[in-house]
């Protein structure tokens, strides 16, 4: 009997960590077998800043997913985000010794390998190289060069660059939680896999994923990823503003935002008031819903305007770069009332809310098709493509001896400093940086992380 390819995705977010187990059913759709969700402690703006807390949160999410599914998880595909990721445009070419031979995957690997050697800033490493369009002997706009003839193979690339230390910290957390890392995927790309249709990617679409700590952007046109960016603001700053503006505690601010919040102040009447219990015997606080919506509106407008600046930087006003399918909103922040209307008002572009049910099996739990789980579903899809056997049924599981070594105090301090520096950088340079990714280089990069972790012990 052929073994089933069980895939696992792990979304390490700023507010929550989600472990998701799935497999492809006979119709090629994704069937979710189990989900585990835990509160994310130790992550700020998409960057790990407390390794011990992050390990605990990962272990909790993994344990819940295992209990839900009856499978034992061995390895995971992880999403990476955060302000430390940027991307650059680069063109390169190779001259082939024999133009009478057809171009193969090997030639493309040689070209990508050449780009991989680009000099980067200190502390930065190329995570991924994403070919855009190819040119063969001057003939341009070739999407698939394999099988063609030619002497000079040229391509424009989106090169994704990240801080090696931040990515290694994620790798360290995975290893210390007793798991293996089978792949890394840029989070906006994982979300795009889950919620966008191929037609939208062809027509031109901007995916905006509003998370807790960051808002990610991925732009597709002609089926190719064209531009990505990460803005270091998300749902958490909206909650923070409500907390300060209404003088209430964070838990109450989050509940107010989710239950009564709206991005459009005109919707609330002046006499709509919600009463919040006071702390320890103090009088309850009365909060006007109109004021609440004004606070939310101001911050959401700021986030959307920053993202819209990135869409303009891509050049969507150029008729050839027009985004016919408009904008798709996903992530927890997309569930805010009237946010769709506000985005349409600011950008003048058609907008819809993206649910990750595009590729899910019909009998999927309603909760899983919430925009909250878009990144996790995309990561499971990525794991399916990797064809890894990421989990085994509990009754077949034979535990391997694992030496889990806790980080030293020095390592913990280094991680803390690194995370603080990245977060500080995000605060001072709120102009977001671009980002993207291509799959065939992940394996080599993951090997680098594994080597680093093995040597660190």
CATH number of the domain that 267 lies in? 3.30.420.40
Q: Does 140 fall in a domain? A: yes
Regarding whether 204 and 116 lie in a shared domain, the answer is no
Q: Is residue 413 part of a domain?
A: no
Query: Using one digit for the tens of pLDDT, what is the confidence trace for 14-35?
Result: 999 999 999 998 888 899 999 9
Where the chain has pLDDT below 50, the residues are 1-2, 402, 431-440
Domain assignment present for 39? no
**pLDDT, position 176:** 94
Are residues 137 and 234 located together in one domain of the fold?
Answer: no
pLDDT at 358: 82
As given in the structure block, the two tokens for residue 417 are 């400093």
Domain enclosing residue 121, as ranges? 86-163
Q: Give the pLDDT score at 194.
A: 94
What is d(CA 334, CA 328) in angstroms, rounded to the nearest whole number? 9
pLDDT at position 119: 87
Residues 282 and 222 in one domain: yes
Q: Is 180 contained in some domain? A: no
Sheet holding 124-136, edge to edge: 86-95, 152-163, 124-136, 139-142
Asked if residue 204 belongs to a domain, the reply is yes
Q: Are 132 and 203 within one domain?
A: no
pLDDT at 447: 66
Question: Which of 117, 145, 163 is the last residue in one of the domains?
Answer: 163
**pTM score of the predicted model:** 0.83
CATH code where residue 109 lies: 3.30.1490.110
Which pLDDT tens digit goes with each residue over 314-347? 888 898 899 999 999 999 999 999 999 999 999 9
Q: Is residue 71 part of a domain?
A: no
To the nearest 10 degrees (0 to 180), the angle between helices 164-176 and 409-428 is: 130
pLDDT of residue 446: 64
What pLDDT was estimated at residue 431? 46
Beta bridge partners of 20: 9, 35
Same-domain check for residues 352 and 205: yes
Domain stop point among 334, 356, 378: 356
DSSP 360: B
pLDDT of 417 reads 79
Structurally, how many domains does the chain consist of?
Answer: 2
Residue 94 lies in a domain: yes
């Amino acid at each position: 009997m052929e073994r089933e390819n069980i895939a696992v995705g792990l979304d390490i977010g700023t507010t929550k960590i989600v472990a998701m187990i799935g497999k492809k059913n006979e119709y090629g759709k994704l069937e979710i077998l189990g989900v585990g969700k835990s509160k994310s402690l130790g992550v700020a703006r998409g960057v790990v800043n407390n390794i011990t807390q992050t390990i605990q949160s990962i272990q909790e999410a993994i344990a819940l997913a295992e209990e839900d599914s009856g499978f034992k998880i061995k390895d995971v595909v992880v999403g990476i985000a955060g302000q430390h990721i940027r991307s650059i445009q680069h063109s390169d070419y190779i001259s082939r010794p024999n133009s009478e031979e057809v171009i193969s995957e090997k030639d493309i690997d040689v070209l990508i390998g050449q780009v991989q050697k680009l000099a980067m800033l200190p502390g930065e490493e190329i995570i991924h190289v994403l070919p855009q369009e190819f040119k063969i002997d001057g003939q341009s706009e070739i999407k698939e060069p394999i099988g063609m003839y030619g002497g000079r193979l040229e391509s424009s690339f989106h090169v994704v660059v990240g801080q090696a230390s931040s990515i290694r910290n994620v790798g360290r957390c995975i290893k210390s939680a007793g798991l293996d890392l089978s792949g890394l995927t840029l989070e906006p790309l994982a979300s795009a896999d889950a919620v966008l249709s191929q037609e939208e990617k062809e027509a031109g679409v901007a995916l905006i994923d509003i998370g807790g700590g960051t808002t990610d952007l991925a732009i597709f046109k002609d089926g190719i990823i064209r531009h990505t960016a990460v803005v270091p603001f998300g749902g958490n700053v909206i909650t923070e503003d409500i907390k300060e503006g209404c003088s209430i505690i964070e838990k109450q601010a989050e509940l107010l935002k989710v239950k009564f919040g709206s991005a459009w102040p005109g919707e609330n009447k002046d006499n709509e008031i919600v009463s919040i219990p006071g702390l320890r015997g103090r009088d309850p606080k009365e909060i006007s819903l109109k004021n609440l919506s004004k606070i939310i509106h101001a911050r959401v407008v700021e986030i959307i305007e920053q993202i819209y600046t990135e869409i303009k930087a891509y050049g969507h006003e150029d008729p050839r770069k027009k985004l016919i399918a408009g904008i798709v909103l996903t992530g927890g922040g997309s569930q805010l009332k009237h946010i769709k209307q506000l985005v349409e008002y600011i950008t003048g572009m058609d907008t819809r809310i993206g649910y990750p049910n595009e590729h899910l099996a019909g009998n999927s739990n309603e909760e899983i098709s919430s925009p909250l789980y878009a990144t996790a579903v995309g990561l499971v899809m990525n794991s399916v493509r990797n064809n890894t056997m990421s989990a085994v049924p509990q009754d077949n599981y034979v535990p391997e001896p694992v030496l889990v070594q806790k980080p030293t105090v020095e390592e913990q301090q280094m991680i803390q400093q690194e995370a603080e520096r990245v977060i500080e950088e995000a605060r001072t340079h709120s102009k977001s940086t671009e980002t993207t990714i291509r799959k065939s280089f992940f394996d080599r990069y993951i090997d680098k992380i594994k080597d680093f972790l093995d040597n660190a012990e």
